[in-house]
């Protein structure tokens, strides 16, 4: 399947105004990383010094080095500008709101130890001699075959299929499911390639029953895609929805 043109607001299709806003966002981020001596030519407009102070307050006692590590760990699977653009688009190109959202996501990643506990450890926890209950629950998700990547859709989006009938909320803790979800999202980020930078999520509801319903997981999926991985989910498809999903 041939690659189509870049979507509006993404790398390769930025307007001059969007490009300036991207530069402004980077100046705020570099200040938080401890970079103060910036080329004046890189600052196309007057930034809000009070907002830089507020961002530093949001970062709290974390050092510029800690924030820098968190930022580049987040960026590592994709082009640096591509990640920042996701947050700018999510906040309709309001630079201050977009940067605040990105900073919040970085702090969340540091607190949750995404780099080590999710990405580095991953399915490798299955090789541990002594597995905790959450480790067992996490590995059980992969062994169940309940979700997998399946090629590309017509818009060149990576397709991720979830077979809902294979999910049993009673067989693992909510924390184990959250770890599994985050590990899959991070894996998808590695597989998603430009110019299409979003994925297609397909819920295969064939054979689904009320015993498979897990409100905590659904709520976590919605919140994490909205607040921590914005502009990553392109479309959600519900296949073979049972009667409980039918409207009046």
pLDDT tens-digit readout, 48-84: 778 888 899 989 999 999 999 999 999 999 999 999 9
Q: What angle is formed at CA 45 by the lines to CA 101 and CA 20, rounded to 5 degrees? A: 60
Task: Using the structure block, give the residue that is written with the tokens 């390769």.
Answer: 12
Cα four-point dihedral sign 82, 86, 88, 92: positive
Q: Which residue has the higher pLDDT, 231 or 53?
A: 231
Beta strand extents in 28-186 (DSSP E only): 147-152, 158-163
Question: For residue 1, what pLDDT is reported?
Answer: 44
pLDDT (average), residues 179-200 = 93
Q: What is the pTM of this model?
A: 0.90
HSE-up of residue 7 (Cα within 13 Å, Cβ side): 16
Confidence band of 2 (pLDDT split at 50, 70, 90): very low
140 near 171, Cβ under 8 Å?
yes
Please state the φ and ψ torsions of residue 238, each to the nearest 5 degrees.
-105, 115
Long-range contact list for 171-175, CB < 8 A, 24+ apart? 171/137, 171/140, 172/134, 172/136, 172/137, 172/138, 172/140, 172/141, 173/133, 173/134, 173/137, 174/216, 174/217, 174/220, 175/134
**pLDDT-above-90 percentage for the chain:** 74
Contacts of 182 (CB under 8 A, 6+ apart): 112, 114, 118, 224
């Amino acid at each position: 399947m041939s690659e189509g043109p870049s979507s509006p607001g993404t790398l390769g299709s930025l307007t001059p105004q969007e490009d300036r806003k991207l530069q402004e966002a980077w100046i705020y981020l570099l200040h938080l990383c401890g970079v103060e001596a910036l080329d004046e030519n890189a600052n196309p407009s007057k930034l809000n010094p009070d907002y830089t102070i507020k961002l530093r307050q949001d970062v709290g006692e974390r050092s510029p080095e800690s924030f820098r590590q968190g930022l580049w760990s987040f960026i590592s699977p994709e082009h640096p500008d591509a990640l920042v653009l996701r947050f700018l688009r999510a906040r309709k190109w309001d630079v201050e709101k977009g940067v605040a959202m990105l900073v919040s996501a970085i702090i969340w990643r540091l607190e949750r130890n995404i780099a080590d506990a999710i990405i580095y450890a991953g399915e490798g926890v299955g090789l541990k001699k002594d597995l905790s209950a959450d480790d067992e629950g996490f590995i059980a998700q992969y062994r169940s075959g309940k979700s997998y990547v399946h090629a590309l859709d017509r818009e060149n989006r990576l397709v991720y299929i979830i077979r809902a009938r294979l999910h049993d909320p009673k067989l693992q803790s909510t924390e184990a499911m959250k770890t599994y979800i985050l590990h899959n999202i991070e894996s998808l980020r590695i597989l998603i390639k430009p110019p299409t930078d979003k994925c297609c999520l397909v819920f295969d509801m064939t054979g689904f029953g009320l015993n498979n319903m897990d409100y905590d997981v659904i709520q976590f999926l919605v919140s994490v895609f909205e607040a921590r991985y914005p502009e990553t989910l392109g479309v959600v498809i519900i296949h073979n929805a049972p009667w409980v999903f039918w409207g009046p």
